Structure formats: C-alpha cells, structure tokens
Structure 1
Amino acid sequence: MRILLIGEYSLLHNSLKEGLVQLGHEVILAANSDGFKNYPVDLDFEAKWSKFKLINIVRQIIYRLFKYDFATVEYGIRFYFLLPKFKNFDVIQFVNEAPIKTTKKSELFLIKKIFESNKRVFVLSCGADYLNMKFDIENKNKKSILQPFFLNPKLTKEFYPLFEYLKESHKKVHDLVLDKCIGIIATDFDYVAAVNKSSKYSGFIPYPINHTKLMFQQSNIENKIVIFLGINEWSYNQKGIPYFEKALEIIKIKYENRVEIIITKTVPYPVYIDSYNKAHILLDQTFSCDQGYNALEAMAKGKVVFTGAEKEFVQHYNLSERVAVNALPNVDYLVNELSFLIENPEEIIAIGKRARTFVEKEHDYIKIANQYLETWQKA
C-alpha cells in the first residue's frame, strides 16, 4: 500500500511509519516538526521565515497583543506547495482533525483539496479537537487537560488555544473532516469516550512504540534514587506540573541524601530524552487516564512513570500488578507514592520490569501497524 501520514504528535506517526515500512508498505510522513520538539519528517511544512530573528520578535509581539501567530499562515503556504505530492494514495491518515495547524480558512481549503484527490482518509482522535473539548466541558469531573482551567479560570493564556477548537471557524473544519473521512481512530483512553458514539468511530488502537530502539536498563539503585521532571511551558498546567513541583519540594527535604532531582524546561526532544535516561522515576502528567508517547517510551526503558493509569486502562489490559503509577492532582498522594518507592527500591525494579514487558506486548510497533492496516481495510 501507498500511505500518507499527515501531521505528527509525540512521534506517533513516526513509529507507525516504521512499523508499516517493516511490513513492506510505502509511507510518506508530511508534518511540521512540532516546533522545539524537532521531530523527523519526510515532507516538512514547519514555519521557517517566521523564526528569523527580527521577524520572530514582531511575531511574538503580535501574539501577545492579539493572540494571533502568523507562523500558522506560513504552515498553510508551505503545505499548499506540497499539494501536488499528496495525490492518489491508498490511505491517508490525519494525526487529528486539524493536522496542518494553519489558519481555519486555510485549513478548511487545504483539507478539501486532500479529500478531492484521495478517497480513503482516516483521522485520529489524538490531542485536542472539537469532540474531545466538547466532551471534557460536559464532563468536568472526568480527568482531562481542561480540569486545571475549571479549577482556575484565570489560566486563560495557556488554555486559550484549546478553546479555539470550540469556535464556529474550527467547527467547520471538524464538520468537513467528520463528513468526508472513512473513520475515526482513538489513540488512548483519554479520547475514547468522546468519539465512540460517532457513526465514523473505527475503534481504539494503542500508540505504536518501536521498543527495539529503546534499551531496557534495569534500575541499579546503589546510591541516590533519581527523579526526573520535564516541563513544557506551553502545557504547564495541563500536565499538572505544579503538583509535581510541590511534591518534589517536600521529597527533597524529606529524603535530602537519598534522592537526586533533575528538572528540564522546554527543551528539544533529544535533549529531553538524554536528560531522563539516568532517572529511576519519571513524572509525566496528573490529568490523564492513559499514557502518552513520552510515558510509554520511558516505561519501555524500565522507568517508573507517574502518569495516567485509570480503571478503564487497567481493565482493558487486564492488569493485576502496576506497570505505572496512576498520578493524581493531589500533592499528598504524590508524596506518599514517591515515599513508598524511595523506601522500597525493590518495587522500582519490579515496576520497571513489568513496564517494559507491557510495552513490548501491547504497544509493539509492528503489531500496532497491523492493527491499523486491518482497520483501514475493514472500514
């Protein structure tokens, strides 16, 4: 099959491509490289002019004053000139319903062009989109990235981009994609409930992880236990970082000579990975029901990850023992869980082993690529 993957989200499409290529398919990944994360792509529509020093200064001023990023215009322009390369694929998959990240009018125009020249287009429910935002607002008590905003509506700066998905200008994009696509695929349990009642719902497929690239290293705890926290300023509250920071302040005092704490702030993806490699424990996020890509990569390396591991996740995989720590937005809870691990280092080793086994079994990139192929062919 000849397959085009449009958009990237935490290396999901990169890993899927690797699995599909292993199975003998031709795959092209077209995406922006997700800003500072700098993900690899085949056809790149990342903004480049907008990052020139003088232009970028003007860009930042305009964004602060009007909440408008003109780099999005450049995404659309670069994507437009790639359109001749996006024809006659057997399958096209969008990483979400707005994979280009350009202005709404341009997104609508460009997506129409994709549908006009390709018959089988699928879309992932992955990250923020219209249905997920609508569901989270209607279910405020369910764990979601919007919960911090419900608790503190003053956090408008960080959450403003999410509420853009509920505006009429975006709903036109959503309606077009929903009408024209063959199917919608949910990528973890944070998205299933929002889309599983849609007539286009094609099921749940876990994230693909190429664990062969990720060396498992059993935790060797001779001296201090190393705890890692990677902060992305753009999702600071969505990830529940304040709860982790407060918990670490307590842990640092309580176990001063027994722990080493590493914190990074908004660094490129390779730097992020290199920074946590020496850690035994990784603090990921508190407002999720399931693990994202970064958490799964760390689990594959044998880390104990504080992330989403709610009941629906445990029940789906029929787990009797923990493969990750279900993180909650509760400082006392986080301190207790960290304290237990620090005082029982053998549990860090045991969870790390189970985490690796879990990723190999449930997220193997070739197994997941086959699930996508079956779903595309059935729909």
Structure 2
Amino acid sequence: MYYLKIFYLKNKMRILLLGEYSNVHWTLAEALKKSGHEVMVVSDGDGWKNYKRHINISYDSKFKFLLFLLRLLSDKRFRNNDIVQIISYRFLFKNKLGYLNKFVFDFLKKHNKKIVLCAFGDDYFYVDACLNKKLAYSPISEVDNKIDYIQEIFQVHYSRTAKNLNEYIAKQSDGIVSCMYDYYISYKEKFEYKLINIPLPIDTEKIKYNDNIYKDKLNIFLGVQKARIEWKGTDIIIDGLNIVKEKHKNLVDVNIVENVPYSEYVNLFSQSNLFFDQTHSYGQGMNGLMAMAAGKILFGGGEYEHYKLIGETENFPIVNIRSDIADIGNKTEYFIGKYNEVLEQGRKSHQYILDHHDSIKVAKKYTEYYEKLMKKC
C-alpha cells in the first residue's frame, strides 16, 4: 500500500452529514467511518442521481413534509452530534419552502455541538462573486442571462430572501468548508476567519484504475446534464468536439451521454481516453475527479489559482479549457496519435487524485478541522 489507509483517532465523533451533491457526503461518510467515527447521511440522494444515504428525505407532498418535521423533532439521531455538516445554505428545503431551512438550522444548532456550512455549489455568495468579478470568468459572466437556468439561479440564489438566509447561516455556522477555488474566493472576503478549503473526496479503492491506452481511435467521453448545458459550457464543448469528429472521422470516437444514473455513468466513461467536464470552472467537480482516478485525461477547470490553493507545485494534469470552441478543438486534436503521452498523462491524473483527493486523506483533513472546532468554546 502506498500509505497507511487508516489514521488513528484522537477522539471518536458523532457526525451528521445533511444533504448531498454528487456523492460527496456519502463518500466522505464512508471514509470517516473507516476511521472509527459514527456517521449518518441524511439526503434525498441528489434527485435522480439517487446516491446512497442512511435516512431518505422526501417532501414532495405536505403529508411527507410534516412526517419529516416530526421525525426531525423526535429522532435522537438529529441531536447531540459533535458535528452537523450541511451541504449548502438550502440544505433541505428548496423553492417555496426555502425559508424553512432557517427553522431547521436553528434547531440543529441548538441541539448539537458544532455546525459546518459547505460551500460546494451555487449559492448567494457564489452568484455575487460572479457578478462582482471576483472570478475572471464564470457561467454568469459568459452565458446569456436570459437562459432559463440562469434565470432560475437568480430567482433561487440572488433574491433578498436568499441573501438573508445565506448570510445568516454563514454567520451562525461554526465553520465553512469550500471544495475548490471558485467557492473559496466567494466566501473569503467576509468569512476568511472561519473558512477552510478541503478537496473533494474520491474513494480510490472503488474506482478501478487502468493504464490509459488506445490503439485505433481516441475515445472521448462527455456527460450531459440537460438542464445545465449552458451553465457548464457543454454546448461549447459539443461544438468543439463535433469539429474534431468531422475532421478526424477515422481517428476519434465521441461518446455523449445524457442524465444517466451513477453506476451506468461510471461504466460508460471507463472505456474513454479523454473525459470532458466543464468550461466555466477554475477547479474540478466530482465527475471529473472520478475520471482522473480511473486514469483518464480530464478537460475542465485547471487554473493556477486552484492548484495553488491545494498546494500542488509539480503535477498539473488537467487540460484547462474555457469557452473557446477553437481552443477546445486544438487541445483535443493534440492527443491524436500521442499514444505514450496519453498513457503518461493518465498516470499523472491518477497520482493527482491519490495526492489530493483520496477519501481517507480528505477525511483526515476533515477530522483535524472538526477537532479544532470542538476545542473552541
């Protein structure tokens, strides 16, 4: 083994992880449990993705909503935890029920020791950072604001209600954890004193690594979330890949899949050489990281600022792409016929995950952070 997989506990903790984005909390929970902590994940499975959880949240009817509230108030597992970590400021209720997050947050803060807010995705502070140019580029600055999804982002995360709720929960939380540069910079100005960046966790034992080899055609994979095509720059990636496909019909295979469950998704990208993620990000999301763990070459966010934040100074395996069709095409074409380079770049991708995202290493960073919070009065 390349390093000791289990680290010794100073103190066993009871940890409640509330909400889910792209399997982050479940992956973290499994690593924390291996280290001896008692962990419970409560979520709706992140919608159609249907990730694992210990308690399923369903509030698609008033009756189920009332049942959940009763359970929250009566179930002892929602009390006396050392750490409660919420996936975002809207960790349970969305849309018209969004304001109820404050009620649940206050209950959890009162009946548990410490509460941690995650900066893992779209929220008021991220939208505000985009609008105020704290990020040189972002979906909001580069995508037509009339797009339905962008309008929804503004309605959900940039209303007065959203601002008040996000600010309240950020101020009242004992700590804030970001997972990449985009979200770290969004919170840094107001909350640097309680903010830490910890990379996303990847279970490297469950994702099979294979050398990145191709013989006849360069295999290219792109996963599409239909509702977020413009937000992630998927439309631009598709245009770039179509040009490559047309120019090199006998040299590349382009596999584009849409809204498939997690297990099927992993199986589909396992045969690829190049994996495309998104154009508007400084860092990498869970899907891109999983592909890197499997030895694929990731096209996505690989900006200097993100590498610096996580402390990487030598290994820069991500092919950084922005909203430029020609650039995407050129960077893709570069790997055609580069058999040895594809192999070596895949190995660097895998090593990058082992160094920064292995779930046991990430869990250790969380444990150290939680212990610091527990020492504070």
TM-score by length of 1: 0.89
* 1:328 positional shift: 1.1
Q: Are the equivalent residues in 1 in contact too, given 2:86–2:117 (CA < 8 A)?
A: yes
SS in 2 for 1:236: helix
What's the counterpart of residue 263 of structure 1?
Answer: 256
- Aligned residue pairs total 353
Give the whole-Å Cα distance in 2 for the aligned partners of 1:323 and 1:26. 35
Q: Are the equivalent residues in 1 in contact too, given 2:300–2:321 (CA < 8 A)?
A: yes
Q: Which runs of 5+ in 1 are unaligned?
A: 51-70
**1:159-198 counterparts in 2 under 5 A?**
159-163=150-154, 164-198=156-190
Give the whole-Å Cα distance in 2 for the aligned partners of 1:319 and 1:345. 26
Deviates more, 1:81-90 or 1:222-231: 81-90
SS in 2 for 1:264: strand
TM-score by length of 2: 0.89
What's the counterpart of residue 59 of structure 1?
Answer: none
* 1:97 positional shift: 1.3
Alignment of 1:134 onto 2:117: no
SS in 2 for 1:342: coil
Alignment of 1:331 onto 2:325: yes
**1:229-378 counterparts in 2 under 5 A?**
229-316=222-309, 317-378=311-372
**1:104-143 counterparts in 2 under 5 A?**
104-139=98-133, 142-143=136-137
Pair 46,143 (structure 1): closer, same or farther in 2 beyond 3 Å: farther
Pair 78,197 (structure 1): closer, same or farther in 2 beyond 3 Å: farther
Give the whole-Å Cα distance in 2 for the aligned partners of 1:75 and 1:126. 27
* 1:369 positional shift: 0.8
Q: Are the equivalent residues in 2 in contact too, given 1:76–1:107 (CA < 8 A)?
A: no
Alignment of 1:217 onto 2:210: yes
Give the whole-Å Cα distance in 1 for the aligned partners of 2:104 and 2:63. 13
Q: Are the equivalent residues in 2 in contact too, given 1:108–1:172 (CA < 8 A)?
A: no
Deviates more, 1:274-283 or 1:102-111: 102-111
Give the whole-Å Cα distance in 2 for the aligned partners of 1:88 and 1:140. 38
Alignment of 1:204 onto 2:197: yes
What's the counterpart of residue 17 of structure 1?
Answer: 29
* 1:246 positional shift: 0.6
SS in 2 for 1:263: strand
Deviates more, 1:95-104 or 1:15-24: 95-104
* 1:202 positional shift: 2.8
* 1:343 positional shift: 3.3
* 1:35 positional shift: 1.4
* 1:75 positional shift: 7.6
Q: Which runs of 5+ in 2 are unaligned?
A: 1-12
Identical columns (%):
27
Give the whole-Å Cα distance in 1 for the aligned partners of 2:136 and 2:58. 34
* 1:214 positional shift: 0.8
Q: Are the equivalent residues in 2 in contact too, given 1:76–1:100 (CA < 8 A)?
A: no
**1:90 paired residue among 82, 86, 101:** 82
SS in 2 for 1:128: coil
Q: Are the equivalent residues in 1 in contact too, given 2:138–2:280 (CA < 8 A)?
A: yes
SS in 2 for 1:238: helix
What's the counterpart of residue 64 of structure 1?
Answer: none
**1:3 paired residue among 8, 15, 30:** 15
Amino acid corresponding to residue 336 of structure 2 in structure 1: I
What's the counterpart of residue 54 of structure 2?
Answer: 42
Q: Are the equivalent residues in 2 in contact too, given 1:322–1:351 (CA < 8 A)?
A: no
